[in-house]
Amino acid sequence: MPNSRSGFRIVVAGGGFAGGTLALALAKLAPKTCGVTLVDAAPPSAPRGRDGRGLALSPASKNLLAAIGLWPRLEPGAQPMTSIEVTDSPLNAPLRPHLLGFAEDVADGEAHAWLVEAGALLEAIGEAVTATPSIELIAPDSVETFGTDAFGADIRLASGRDLRAALLVAADGKKSRLRDQAGIHCIGWSYDQMGIVATIAHERPHHGRAVQHFLPSGPFAILPLTGNRSSIVWTEDADKAQDLVQDLVNGAPDVFLAALGRRFGHRLGEISLEGPARTFPLSFQMARAFAGERLALVGDAAHVVHPLAGQGLNIGFRDVAALVETVTETARLGLDIGSAAALERYQRWRRFDSAFSGAAMDGMNRLFSNDNAPLRAIRDLGMGLVDRAPGLKRFLVREASGATGDVPRLLKGEAL
């Protein structure tokens, strides 16, 4: 039966950033109305703390993590991003003039974002899930198939175990098997670009400043981490990116470091790699629907966007907050949390916002990833005008912080 002694049963498939956070939020904020089962392919003891990628958490995402008790654990290792500098120039330009900056556009004591390491966030989520008795953790395992009827979903795990739930949540990544089984198609395309991520140690302090260089091959972001360290998100032509990282694998780091240095600049002194560099293909993907029969999509299962603004994780956390609020309010009314009406509310809430954010980042990448001099002059003029428009800058800051539109209460720091 979809109902349990704790009310409606929800099965979350995938224990990563979105799925693990969703399970924790439901267990903490709706314990009397929803029972939560989390199915994760990784065993509970899997090491998660080795991923040093920098993740930019918006103020709204910080509010969500605070509401479920994770922020106190993350805060000591979180680096506030206190200013952002944007430049647009050819790679060989002797100077990179400041075109747009955000430094005084947030309230005192706040930050534009907080940088945390991916491994630290995954480790905090995993340990909190394991320590929460009201979450039934089934791992390592995965959802193999599911079928639905008017009253619930019948779920078969890869181990052969059967589950019954009112709602199944697909948090199983951009290649979501559950999305495919539900017949939900995606709109999307691949870029002729790859992303390179790495943690960089540098000689001088960054003072919390993030830098976004728009270069002809794609954006190059420097994101401040604690200490004299920064995370880079380097968008490069696909063939060149593979060659650069292959040089590292083959024990020839000088070529990689020389290319990195030309993009990183000399402001922070000598640089070196702290840990491995990783590559990943870049693509845009948007599910045509964020919900199916007894199924909701969250995180990368619903949308994959270009990383140039570092908003992918924050968009996923907006999914989590909206679904938790929808489920909680529906259950409090004694209504079916997996009904078409409840899931339609979630879909209306999230799909337009996700599509708008994804399209904006896709457009920016296409606008700036070229070496067209007249086009650069026009876009640089536009950025200069934005830099002189305090009202517009404040709006952009609020948009990036997740404070515009119909914001779920958890993201505003409000109780459900």
pTM of the model: 0.92
Task: Give residue-wise pLDDT tens across range 305-319.
Answer: 999 878 899 999 999
Number of H helices and number of E strands within the chain?
11, 22
Question: How many domains, the chain?
Answer: 1
**Pairing relation of β-strands 209-215 and 83-88?**
parallel
Q: How far apart are CA 62 and CA 285, in angstroms?
A: 25
- Contact, 100 vs 387, CB < 8 A? yes
| Contact call for residues 36 and 23 (beta carbons, < 8 A) | yes
Residue 221: inside a domain, yes or no?
Answer: no
C-beta of residue 88 within 8 angstroms of C-beta of residue 379: yes
d(CA 408, CA 416): 9
Question: What's the whole-number average pLDDT of the chain?
Answer: 89
> For residue 406, which phi and psi values (nearest 5 degrees)?
-85, 90
Does residue 159 lie in a domain region?
A: yes
Confidence of residue 49 (pLDDT cuts 50, 70, 90): low
Tokens read off for 290:
């964020």
CATH number of the domain where residue 10 is located: 3.50.50.60
| 110-124, 288-302, 393-407, range with the lowest pLDDT | 393-407
Which amino acid makes up residue 259? A
Residue 251 located in a structural domain: no
Does residue 260 lie in a domain region?
Answer: no
Minimum mean pLDDT range among 85-99, 198-212, 228-242, 383-397: 383-397
pLDDT per residue as tens digits for the range 254-267: 889 999 999 999 99
- The pLDDT tens digits for 70-124 are 999 999 999 999 988 988 887 877 667 666 767 655 555 578 899 999 999 999 9
Task: Please check whether residue 261 lies inside any domain of the structure.
Answer: no
* CA distance readout (Å), 346 to 297, 322, 325: 10, 7, 9
- Domain for residue 213, yes or no? no
In a domain, 325, yes or no: yes
Domain contains 74: no
Three-state DSSP state, 11 = strand
Per DSSP, 254 falls in state H
Residue range(s) defining the domain that contains residue 142: 3-53+121-187+285-365
